[in-house]
Chain A
Amino acid sequence: MSVNLTLLIVMGALYACGIYLILERSLTRVLLGLMLLANATNLLILATGGYAGLAPLYSKDPAAGDYNDPLPQALILTSIVISFAVTAFMLGIIYRTWVLARRDEIQADIEDLRVAETPSFDAEDDAVIPAETSEFPVTVMAGGREMPAEAAVEEEKPGSANVAPRPDGGGR
């Protein structure tokens, strides 16, 4: 079976541009990329239906090898309809993003960033801090002030406010 070289080259170019575009951060470009990919795939399906110039399946007269395979064309029609619907929906989403954020960009996930920034210290699991029992409390320098080690540990915990030293030297 011979294939149409021009169509194949066009298909390759469409795939290349489409993949390049969907890697962009701008939503409009991503949409253009998806449209190119869908059209490249339609060309690929067309290529499976035999070479150009064959008769359509119209009458019973031609021999089986002489007419074009109609199934790929039906598949392409279906896929065009589907990609049309998806494109329309994407345009709606892009417009909505623009209305909400005034930006045509894929936005980072806030919760993802929060999890990534969470220290390995777990306030619940690692909260057991040895109590200072000695008669002579150890003092450390923390934040430019001298304070008992226990209070300094309190202060190191994420989310804790600054622990103000009491007049007698204890924390809080």
Chain B
Amino acid sequence: MNLASLAPLAVVLPILGAALTFLLIRHSRAQRAVSIGLLSLTLLLECLLLASVCDGGTVAVTIGGWLPPWGIVLVVDQFSSLMLVVSSAVSLAVLVYATGQGMADGDQDAPVSIFHPTYLILVAGVSNAFLSGDLFNLYVGFEILLTASYVLMTLGGTGPRIRAGVTYVVVSVVSSVLFLISIAMVYGATGTVNMADLAIKLGELDQGTRTLLHVMLLVAFGIKAAVFPLSFWLPDSYPTAPAPVTAVFAGLLTKVGVYAMVRTETLLFPGDSLNTPLMVAALLTMVVGILGALAQSDIKRLLSFTLVSHIGYMVFGLAMSSVAGLGAAVFYVAHHITIQTSLFLVTGLIERRGGSSSVDRLGGLAKLSPLLALLFFVPAMNLAGIPPFSGFLGKVGLMQAGIALGTPLAYALVIGGVVTSLLTLLAIARVWNRAFWRRPSDAEHPDPVLLATPAAPAARTMVGPGAKRNSAKRNAANQDVVTLLPRTMVGSTAGLVVLGIALTVFAGPLFTVSDQAAEDMLDRSAYVHAVLGDDTVVPPALTSGGGR
């Protein structure tokens, strides 16, 4: 039996975990053990999947004994298994962080016990979306993760979270409806929703219908991936959620959108028909996103804008539809999931230690907690693309691919990418200078915590103005003392930062995998043959120069 046929377990295990943790809702210790244990098991399984796919090539698993193109298939290729490994590693780190936070704050509240089942459902949805070889199953995966994310986003039901949650839910539902409409239209035009089958049948349609379907799908995924004109909702809704939730959303949810865009572009609609608009969208996403980041004084909001901005790099790599460009984009997705999540986790720690996430209120953190400064500095420089980190390597890959393409628009994007990288550095340096390096008394509205004498470094009393915090800490005010930097939270953040550095150290092998993944995706035959059998004829990609 091939190891890859265990792929459905990547979805089944988290759902099983969700059911178990829901039953154990009154036993928080057992709940923690079950969710962390099952997620570790899933991660282990996915590492094995990646290894087996790298050796043996793409594998399709048919579900329930219905053969494709009728039944649902799960397809494990290098791209999907790489995404699975990175996303599970990141979600495991965030889960440990969240349990650490819950333990430190005393998780007797009801909403916290619902966290574990919801979180595992979210992970299951993400895995299902990555594995799905069927357009409608992809939609179901999206819906699973979105519904779980609605609950996580509004956890606790405080005013700001509900306000942000409304925007988020409405925008997500509209994008899901658009996706469903596209599926109906695709089914009406071709009579199938199997993606390998679609790869063949969509090529037989006339150009107008193809473009219509293509645009519909891209708009639906563009909302989820937060590509510029459709990105307005993200900085509005992400920053209000609890720190671990924001971190996992920032790392995973937009990347699932990017993943779906990559599949649409390479498998369903290969060729370069919409590459020019995509490149323009990528440029605008990068530049407008980072300009938004420069205006922010709240670190979480600033990071949300950099998140939007860096989606532009991935779309750029995708729009080049060359092996080098797509490979660099795949590498960049893996890098960005890790880095963006660790930055949001560090921001959660900053908020705990410094009492605020607004740079107007912070100061002197480098002296107060050098470890925290280090944990922020490394991924921040990585995000800005400073050598030798993986952000730099990914950007260099993209720039090289852009120059190899050589069109004026590609050059404009290369310049835009460099400018965005520098502006990211500027935004990050402002945070660094103000929150970490200046004296606390120089802050515009210094938080009382920072001005207190450093007599009690590990604990502080919550009185007076300090009580204006999020609800979890307000509950802790009764206990007088909260642990500022619990070991589990710092440990899991450090783990992610180390993972980010590991991506730098092992960038060579990772680039090999991502380039192979890109080659397989652009070739399409491995995917189609794995699903429909080896004797299927795969039509070549349509290019505006060659075909039609």
Listed in ascending order, the chain A residues whose CB lies under 8 Å from chain B are 22, 27, 30, 34, 37-38, 41, 44-45, 47-48, 69, 71-72, 75, 78-79, 82, 85-86, 89-90, 93, 96-97, 100-101, 106-107, 109, 111-112, 115, 118, 123-124, 159
Most interface-central of A38, A41, A48, A111 (chain B CB within 10 A): A111
Given contacts A48-B184, A72-B187, A37 and B147 within 8 Å (CB-CB): no
Can you list, as one digit per residue, whether each of B77-111 has a CB less than 8 Å from chain A (1) or not (0)?
A: 00000000000000000000000000000000000
* Residues of chain A lying within 8 A (CB to CB) of residue B184: 41, 44-45, 47-48, 72, 75
* Residues of chain B lying within 8 A (CB to CB) of residue A159: 444
Contact yes or no, A45 B170, CB < 8 A: no
Contact yes or no, A97 B167, CB < 8 A: no
- B236 contact from A27, A48, A112, Cβ within 8 A: A112
Minimum CB distance partner of A112 in chain B: B236
* Residues of chain B lying within 8 A (CB to CB) of residue A37: 174, 177
* Residues of chain B lying within 8 A (CB to CB) of residue A107: 163
B361 interfacial contact with A, CB 8 Å: no
- A30 contact from B154, B170, B295, Cβ within 8 A: B170
Contact yes or no, A93 B166, CB < 8 A: yes
What secondary structure prevails in chain B residues at the interface with A?
Answer: helix
Contact yes or no, B166 A97, CB < 8 A: yes
What secondary structure prevails in chain A residues at the interface with B?
Answer: helix
B420 CB to closest chain A CB, in angstroms? 20
How far is A75 from B193 in the complex, measured between Cα atoms in Å? 11
Minimum CB distance partner of B164 in chain A: A109
B136 interfacial contact with A, CB 8 Å: yes
* Residues of chain B lying within 8 A (CB to CB) of residue A71: 187, 193
A82 CB to closest chain B CB, in angstroms? 5
* Residues of chain A lying within 8 A (CB to CB) of residue B163: 97, 106-107, 109
Contact yes or no, B140 A78, CB < 8 A: yes
B392 CB to closest chain A CB, in angstroms? 27
B377 interfacial contact with A, CB 8 Å: no
Most interface-central of B140, B147, B180, B191 (chain A CB within 10 A): B180
How far is A111 from B240 in the complex, measured between Cα atoms in Å? 11
Contact yes or no, A79 B180, CB < 8 A: yes
A112 CB to closest chain B CB, in angstroms? 7
* Residues of chain B lying within 8 A (CB to CB) of residue A100: 157, 159, 162
How far is A111 from B301 in the complex, measured between Cα atoms in Å? 9
| A-B complex: 5 closest residue pairs judged by Cβ atoms | A48-B188, A45-B184, A44-B184, A82-B143, A37-B177
Minimum CB distance partner of A34 in chain B: B173
Contact yes or no, A22 B434, CB < 8 A: no
How far is A89 from B169 in the complex, measured between Cα atoms in Å? 9
B150 interfacial contact with A, CB 8 Å: yes
Contact yes or no, A75 B236, CB < 8 A: no
Minimum CB distance partner of A106 in chain B: B166
Minimum CB distance partner of B438 in chain A: A124
Most interface-central of B170, B184, B236, B297 (chain A CB within 10 A): B184
A70 CB to closest chain B CB, in angstroms? 11
How far is A100 from B163 in the complex, measured between Cα atoms in Å? 10
* Residues of chain B lying within 8 A (CB to CB) of residue A27: 166
Minimum CB distance partner of B236 in chain A: A109
How far is A79 from B182 in the complex, measured between Cα atoms in Å? 13
- B174 contact from A34, A48, A72, Cβ within 8 A: A34
Can you list, as one digit per residue, whether each of B147-169 has a CB less than 8 Å from chain A (1) or not (0)?
A: 10011001001010011111101
* Residues of chain B lying within 8 A (CB to CB) of residue A44: 181, 184-185
Can you list, as one digit per residue, whether each of B312-336 has a CB less than 8 Å from chain A (1) or not (0)?
A: 0000000000000000000000000
Minimum CB distance partner of A125 in chain B: B430
Contact yes or no, B165 A93, CB < 8 A: yes
Known contacts A75-B136, A85-B147, A89-B150, then 13 further A-B pairs from the complex at CB < 8 Å, ordered by chain A residue = A22-B170, A41-B177, A44-B184, A47-B184, A75-B183, A79-B180, A86-B150, A86-B173, A89-B151, A96-B154, A100-B159, A109-B164, A111-B298
* Residues of chain B lying within 8 A (CB to CB) of residue A79: 180
How far is A11 from B164 in the complex, measured between Cα atoms in Å? 31
* Residues of chain B lying within 8 A (CB to CB) of residue A48: 184-185, 187-188
B5 interfacial contact with A, CB 8 Å: no
Contact yes or no, B154 A93, CB < 8 A: yes
Contact yes or no, A41 B136, CB < 8 A: no
How far is A32 from B76 in the complex, measured between Cα atoms in Å? 40
B369 interfacial contact with A, CB 8 Å: no
* Residues of chain B lying within 8 A (CB to CB) of residue A78: 136, 140
Minimum CB distance partner of A94 in chain B: B166
* Residues of chain B lying within 8 A (CB to CB) of residue A106: 163, 166-167
Name 24 interchain pairs, CB-CB below 8 A, sorted by A: A22-B170, A34-B170, A38-B177, A45-B180, A45-B184, A48-B185, A72-B187, A75-B136, A78-B140, A82-B140, A82-B143, A85-B147, A86-B169, A89-B150, A90-B173, A93-B162, A100-B159, A106-B166, A111-B298, A115-B296, A115-B297, A118-B295, A123-B444, A124-B434
How far is A82 from B180 in the complex, measured between Cα atoms in Å? 11
A76 CB to closest chain B CB, in angstroms? 10
Contact yes or no, A115 B295, CB < 8 A: yes
Minimum CB distance partner of B157 in chain A: A96
* Residues of chain A lying within 8 A (CB to CB) of residue B296: 115
* Residues of chain A lying within 8 A (CB to CB) of residue B301: 111
Can you list, as one digit per residue, whether each of B469-505 has a CB less than 8 Å from chain A (1) or not (0)?
A: 0000000000000000000000000000000000000
Minimum CB distance partner of A115 in chain B: B295
* Residues of chain B lying within 8 A (CB to CB) of residue A22: 170, 174
How far is A69 from B296 in the complex, measured between Cα atoms in Å? 53
How far is A159 from B229 in the complex, measured between Cα atoms in Å? 34
* Residues of chain A lying within 8 A (CB to CB) of residue B165: 93
* Residues of chain B lying within 8 A (CB to CB) of residue A93: 154, 162, 165-166, 169
B165 CB to closest chain A CB, in angstroms? 6
How far is A72 from B193 in the complex, measured between Cα atoms in Å? 10
